[in-house]
Amino acid sequence: MSAVIEIAGLRKSFTSLRHGRRIALDGFDMLVEAGQVHGFLGPNGSGKTTTLRTLLGLVRPDFGRMALFGEPTPQRLPAVAPRFGAIVESPQFFGNFTGWRTLYLLAVAGGVPRNRVDEVLEQVGLRDRGDERVRTYSLGMRQRLAVASALLKGPELLILDEPANGLDPAGIREMRDLMRDLAAAGVTVLVSSHILAEIEQICDHVTIISQGRRVAAGPVEEVLAGFDHGEFRVRVADQDRAVEVLTAAGLTVSRLPDQLVVGGVEDPARLSQLLGEQDLWVRELTPLTPDLESAFLELTGTRPVPGVPRQVDESTLPGPTGDDPLAVTVTADDQTDEGAHR
Ligand SMILES: Nc1ncnc2c1ncn2[C@@H]1O[C@H](COP(=O)(O)OP(=O)(O)OP(=O)(O)O)[C@@H](O)[C@H]1O
């Protein structure tokens, strides 16, 4: 599979009089390959928007390497611009224009054939509402109009920053279906969010960021597998004896009022055998499968440990005079504007 987005060792700091120097990205890495629906997850303020804005040339990094479709950015952004669509800032539309007219004007401005307008309206499920004024649209419909505008040029990659933000459950469902449809149509999708349940349902790959650093990445099942501690919920009548038996067998046991959580279980049959041999009959034996939510909390609830090397060794990164074609050789100008942030 070919890399569509590559980010290595990206660092960005902001300086303000009030807060001093703040590191938003601290040697961040990301790899998105063609065909993925890639979730970019992190708590508020972890650096998702800064990453996307930097990738799109809206913010200058201190240093790091970035590439879109193998072309170094921001240097080669104009060359790859026709191949991706992005919604990173909330797009503003004229309320008095219809959805169709909005897209038509954007199509004309972008040199896109007029017939694309109907196609993208269809794609985002707004075909029936295209002749209504945008001010009558719900937030979810405006979001879909924004996606439609990004789809006009038929991009191979779509980058969406928090597309479900502010949407009601129906809007979230529509957005989720839309992303699935796009993926099925062969579009690579990178979607940032802190709504884990949604990401878990639509994404096949995930990168988790915490405090400007990548803390996990890979196929969703693989990331989750790392959090499978072999835990089972066990119910038996005599909990005291069950704790004794299981602990003696080397298993970790936590007691809850009416159940035990047993960890380190490789074979559940062995667990029920251990208890059965002591006339302790198992009433319930349920695997506690990890979900992205708990993985996310476990990962992002842990501050990066001082002294532990970052995932990117700065010494391997090209310096400002390096000749790496992907290197961004920009000095830290810290163009901070906190008031204007989002
Ligand atoms: N222009 C700016 N000036 C100063 N600090 C900034 C600026 N932009 C971002 N930051 C800081 O950088 C850090 C990362 O912010 P960023 O918006 O990238 O996080 P995020 O993961 O997108 O958060 P959210 O989910 O809330 O949008 C935060 O501490 C934020 O305050």
Q: What is the DSSP string of 180-203?
A: HHHHHTT-EEEEEES-HHHHHHH-
Q: What is the DSSP string of 113-141?
A: -THHHHHHHHHTT-GGGTTSBGGGS-HHH
**pLDDT (0 to 100) of residue 340:** 35
Query: Judging by DSSP bridges, how do beta strands 157-161 and 84-87 pair with one another?
Result: parallel
The atom number, within ligand 1, closest to the CA of 340 reads 1
Tell me which residue has its CA closest to atom 16 in ligand 1: 47
Q: Which stretches of the chain score pLDDT less than 70?
A: 1, 293, 301-342
Instruction: Tell me which residue of 156, 130, 155 sits closest to 141, measured CA to CA.
Output: 130
Q: What is the pLDDT of residues 89-116, one digit of tens each?
A: 777 889 999 999 999 999 999 889 999 9
**pLDDT (0 to 100) of residue 337:** 41
Predicted complex ipTM:
0.95
Report CA(194)–ligand 1 centroid distance (Å). 14
**pLDDT (0 to 100) of residue 301:** 67
Tell me which residue has its CA closest to atom 29 in ligand 1: 45
142/37 Cα distance (integer angstroms)? 22
Instruction: Tell me which residue of 202, 197, 199, 152 sits closest to 178, measured CA to CA.
Output: 202
- Topology of domain 3-222+292-340, per CATH? Rossmann fold (3.40.50)
Tell me which residue has its CA closest to atom 31 in ligand 1: 45
Out of 3.40.50, 3.30.70, 1.10.3470, 3.30.1560, the CATH code matching 232-287 is: 3.30.70
Is the CB–ligand 1 distance for residue 19 below 6 Å?
Answer: no
Is the CB–ligand 1 distance for residue 47 below 6 Å?
Answer: yes
Q: What is the pLDDT of residues 238-292, one digit of tens each?
A: 999 999 999 999 998 988 888 999 988 888 898 999 999 999 999 999 888 777 7
Is the CB–ligand 1 distance for residue 14 below 6 Å?
Answer: yes
Tell me which DSSP letter residue 247 carries. Answer: H
Q: Give ranges for CATH 3.30.70 in the chain.
A: 232-287
Tell me which DSSP letter residue 241 carries. Answer: H
Q: Give ranges for CATH 3.40.50.300 in the chain.
A: 3-222+292-340
**pLDDT (0 to 100) of residue 180:** 86
Q: Which two tokens stand for residue 72?
A: 């170094």
Q: Give first-to-last CA distance, the chain, whole Å.
A: 34
